[in-house]
Amino acid sequence: MIVFIYGTTAEAIKLAPIMRRLDARGIRYEHWLTMQHTEALRKILPQLGLREPDRIIADGNRGKPLRRATDVIGWGWQAFRWIEKHRSELKRSLPSNTVVVVHGDTMTSVVGAYIARRLRVPSAHVEAGLRSGNWRHPFPEELDRRIVGRMASVHYTPSEIATANLRGRENVVETHGNTVIDAVLDHDEVEREAGQRYALALLHRFEFISNEQLVQETIGALIKHSPVPIRLLVDAYNSETLERVLASAHAGDRVVIESKKSHSEFVILLKHAEFVVTDSGGVQEEAALLGIPTLVHRVATERQDGVGRNVVLSGWDLDAVRAFLEDPDHHRFPAGRPPISPSDIVVEDLIARGFGS
């Protein structure tokens, strides 16, 4: 039995290609949700072709998104109480060949690996081995993946560097890319519609949003130096801060706020954007695949996708932001299609280990 435990929209997007491939082969699995993201996660499941979850471990902050540290504590307590309440029943009902699959570097990744340990079943970590080398950037993601790396039984690494980071560990399987590659390539090609040129901005990480001066300076640089209008995508976690800063900056039509899109809609927007400004590691990977000029607005990144080609790391340096905006097309790189599907590698390995029966 394969059990996927996840709780954010990004995890759902990156795990969905694996689940769709299992569905195509008639292999049974379950998915248990922590609802770290609440309404956004419920909304995206059918868009990704995923059925209703088999179990709900926690439900955000009483059904609402986690916004404050106190919300996270309450959510974590829900998850702890759930596993303690259901542990005996699950140990009896789950088959002996059960594995818990977690993804990436979220708080749910840690919760899922912990649940596997409490159930005394192995856990498999997709997108394993990534390291920024700085526990504060990004926080808490760098700590999350180090903790999961200690608890996981199988490690699916997306690159040679990630594999090297786990040197000496057993059961390290390189997938030659991240499953987000399949999440993008599984979408049908859509022709670009004639219309206004635009760029995309996605800025949502806690360490950025909580630094209001940096937010103001970044938005100011985008307004002043972007060669094209920017569509700034927001969700429940960053909308309040970004809307307030944008209103005081008198952006006009230079930077326009839009609600977060479904993944299929976002992929279409991404493919046709002039450039991207983001602090999202997942978007960095998607943009690297497509060769789109991308400014990763972070101090450090654990991912090497596109760095030195289409991707520039700002280091939160406003001069780096301005330099990128002066000539983003300088960083355009031909799109490529990898010969290997990372999701196929994960599926084949899970089956070979006896978890798919």
% of the chain surpassing 70 pLDDT: 97
Residue 312 CA from chain centroid, whole number: 19
336 confidence band (pLDDT: 50, 70, 90): confident
Sequence-distant (6+) residues with CB within 8 A of 273 are 198, 199, 200, 292
- Domains 2-177+340-352 and 199-331 fall in the same CATH topology: yes
- Helix residue spans in the chain (DSSP H): 9-24, 39-47, 69-93, 107-119, 141-151, 160-165, 180-185, 206-209, 212-225, 239-249, 263-271, 281-290, 318-326, 342-352
Average pLDDT over residues 83-87: 95
- DSSP reduced 3-state for 269: helix
pLDDT in tens, 306-329: 999 999 999 999 999 999 999 999
Tell me which CATH code domain 2-177+340-352 carries.
3.40.50.2000
Q: Domain residue spans in the chain?
A: 2-177+340-352, 199-331
| Helix, strand, coil percentages for the chain (3-state, nearest 5) | 45, 15, 40
The reported pLDDT for the residue numbered 119 is: 96
350 confidence band (pLDDT: 50, 70, 90): very high
Q: Are strands 99-103 and 123-126 parallel, antiparallel or unpaired?
A: parallel
Task: Tell me: pLDDT of 8 over 70.
Answer: yes
**Are residues 144 and 106 in contact, defined by beta-carbon separation less than 8 angstroms?**
yes
The reported pLDDT for the residue numbered 71 is: 87
138 confidence band (pLDDT: 50, 70, 90): confident
**Are residues 155 and 146 in contact, defined by beta-carbon separation less than 8 angstroms?**
no
pLDDT in tens, 33-64: 999 888 888 888 998 889 999 999 999 888 88
pLDDT in tens, 162-221: 999 999 999 999 999 899 889 888 765 544 555 689 999 999 888 899 899 999 999 999
Which option is the CATH number for 199-331: 1.20.1300.10, 3.40.1260.10, 3.40.50.2000, 3.40.1670.10?
Answer: 3.40.50.2000
For the entire predicted model, the pTM comes to: 0.76
The reported pLDDT for the residue numbered 236 is: 75
107 confidence band (pLDDT: 50, 70, 90): very high
Burial 326-339 (b: 16+ CB within 10 A, else e): eebeebbbeeeeee
Q: What one-character DSSP code corresponds to residue 64?
A: B
